[in-house]
Amino acid sequence: MAGFGGVAIIEGLKNISAQLTSPSRFILSPHKDILSVRRYLFEGPWHLAHEEIIEEAGQFYDALVVENRQGRSVSLYGEEQWASREGQVRLEDLLKKLPLHQNPRDKAYYEYLLSLQKLSNFT
C-alpha cells in the first residue's frame, strides 16, 4: 500500500486483518502520518520484516514490510532505516524541519532523532 495517507493505510490494514486466514506480508509506504502507522503496527498484530527509507526525485518515503506472524515488533520511530545513505540524508532533513512543528508527537520524534544523531555521529 503506497500513495495513501496513514489513516487510509491503517483502515485498510484493519479491514484486511479481519479476512486473513494465513500468514501475509504487506509493503507499506504512507505519504503522510508515518508515526500514526508505526504506532498502529506497534500496538497491533503486525511484525517488522524490513524497513528502509527510499529517495526518489528529492522526495523521501518510509517503506515498511510487515507480516501478520511472529517476529520483531515495529518500533515507533524506526531503527534500521537510518543506517543507509538515504536514511542519513533524511535524518538531516527532518532535523531541520521538525523543530518548526508544534505537535507533541513530532517533538518526541525530533528528540529521538537528535539522540540518534549524537549516538551515531551522522553529521
For residue 27, the one-letter residue type is: I
CA 3 to chain centre: 14
Average pLDDT of the residues in 63-72: 91
Residue 122 — very low, low, confident or very high, per pLDDT cuts 50/70/90?
very low
Contact 27, 2 (CB under 8 A): yes
Quote the pLDDT of residue 62. 93
Runs of H (alpha helix) within 75-103:
85-97
Q: Where are the beta strands (DSSP E) in the chain?
A: 25-28, 47-56, 59-67, 72-73
